[in-house]
Structure 1
Amino acid sequence: MAEKLAKSLVGMMGGLLSLSFGKQLIVFIISMLPILELRGGLIAASLLKLSPVESYVIALVGNAIPIPFLLLLINKILSAMEKSKFKLFNKMHSFLHKKIMKNKDSIEKYGFWGLVIFVGIPLPGTGAWTGAIIAAFLEMDRKKAFLAICLGMLMASIIMMIISFGVLSNVV
């Protein structure tokens, strides 16, 4: 799924390729997006034939930039969603709350390291954005949550580098 989305976004952002830093900008933007995050950014970087080191740095920075803002604002956003007159926002809040509460015991049991592992395993539905939402719902200390999310991103980025530049580069 991430590969298809990354390919689609690279195609949609093709106009940026005319810029001298267009490939890098595409990877950066994709890495900032929820769902795709650095996983999608590294896949895009591989497809765009960027060097692994350059790709790694750009994707990691792109994925990290939204996290402090999310950690600061997510509780207000979630509260507004819960109180919203729009049923879609209420349903989204309920969905997120149920999903997180289902895994609450596991994450709380392992605390900091539970969040690191959750963010660090590159599976659908895991990642920095989801990690920030989990930290907010569980009322984790923001500084500790940010550190845990960053460590998880480092872990996920290493795994994705191996997949994107090791496996994908030989297939694509």
Structure 2
Amino acid sequence: MFIDILFTILFSVSPLGEARVGIPYGILNGVPPVLAFLSGLAANLLVFPIMHTIVKAFDQRMWKYSLYKKQSVRLSRRAKNIVGSSIEKYGFWGLMIFVMIPLPVTGAYMGSIAAILFKIPPKRAFSAISLGVIISCSIVTLGAYFGNLGIQLI
């Protein structure tokens, strides 16, 4: 069971699925739902502090290179097209809702990038992203738990 908890944590902190993959993985592999929720949530809450620190440090060092600057601007435009209207219009709540929706291209990673792009103060961004992650993890846990329960009944 330790290995399943470890994979739950690793999937939940990875950008390839976040807690949307980690929590169902844990539940479907026998990790108690509360433990899968807590480990997935804790791992996914680490995303913003890690991303914020890495992106800020990397950006300061690399901005002087034209290739980096060009790619950074391209990524920024793409991210603003994806999340821009809701975050510009609703601010904190827009960011929280964007992170909360358990769909591809939403979540803590893209929310962290959006918070940096829209210059949302780190404490406020962390609060919005954390609230969104908590709600998203709750939705995913309930879906995975009841889905697994349905599979077992068949």
TM-score w.r.t. the length of structure 2 is 0.85
1:97 aligns to what? 76
Q: 1:32 aligns with which of 5, 10, 13?
A: 13
Partner of 1:137: 117
Q: Which aligned pairs between 1:159-170 and structure 2 lie closer than 5 A?
A: 159-170=139-150
Match of 1:48 among 29, 46, 67: 29
- The equivalent of 2:40 in structure 1 is 59
Between the two proteins, what is the percent identity of the paired residues?
Answer: 31
Q: Shift in Å at residue 67 of structure 1?
A: 1.8
CA distance in 2, matches of 1:137, 1:80: 17
Count of residue pairs brought into register by the alignment: 151
Q: State the 1:73 CA deviation.
A: 2.9
The change in CA–CA distance for 1:126 and 1:79 in structure 2 (over 3 A counts) is: farther
Counterpart contact for 2:86–2:94, Cα < 8 Å: yes
Q: How does 1:66-105 map to 2 (within 5 A)?
A: 66-78=47-59, 84=65, 90-91=70-71, 93-102=72-81, 103-105=83-85
**Segments ≥4 residues shifted beyond 6 Å:** none
Unaligned runs of at least 5 residues, structure 1: 1-19
**AA paired with 1:166?**
F
Structure with larger RCO (C-alpha < 8 A, sep 6+): 2
Q: Any idea what SS the aligned residue of 2:119 has?
A: coil
- Say whether the 8 Å CA contact 2:8–2:36 is kept in structure 1: yes
Residue 109 in 1 paired to residue 89 in 2? yes
Unaligned residue ranges in structure 2 (runs of 5+): none
The 3 A distance-change label for structure 1 pair 113 and 169 is: same
